Amino acid sequence: MDDDLLRSEVAGKLTQLLKDDGAGWYEAARSIDSRALEYGFDLGVNFDSAERFAESLMEGMRFHVSVEQQFPNGIADFEHHEVAEELFWCIMPAGILSKA
């Protein structure tokens, strides 16, 4: 799958999960941003909407992560996620968790 198309699919799934979050998309997005900052990773994302958050996250990750490597089987590798933060940690660069 083309990298840009896969990024778009991941952003779409993240948007869906954010909107489905019981706390509301904004609170879920803030939680993701806060957790990333705890690990020293400033996401620099847009909080105007769930869509803008997901799109800006994926664009920001462009220089840090190859989504084709993270999700070699395409959509099948991330469609099972049911929580936005769970998908977020799958997007993050390898080794980021070891910085805690």
- Tell which residue, 60, 77, 65, has the closest CA to residue 9: 77
pLDDT tens-digit readout, 47-82: 999 999 999 999 988 888 888 888 999 999 999 999
More confident residue, 98 or 8: 8
> SS3 for 9-70, per residue?
HHHHHHHHHHHHCCCCHHHHHHHHHHHHHHCCCCCCCCCCCHHHHHHHHHHHHCCCCCHHHH
Q: What is the pTM of this model?
A: 0.88
Q: How many domains does the chain have?
A: 1
**Is the per-residue pLDDT at 98 higher than 60?**
no
- pLDDT > 70: what percent of the chain? 92
Q: Which domain holds residue 49?
A: 3-99
pLDDT at 64: 81
Say which amino acid occupies 11. A
**Is the per-residue pLDDT at 96 higher than 50?**
yes
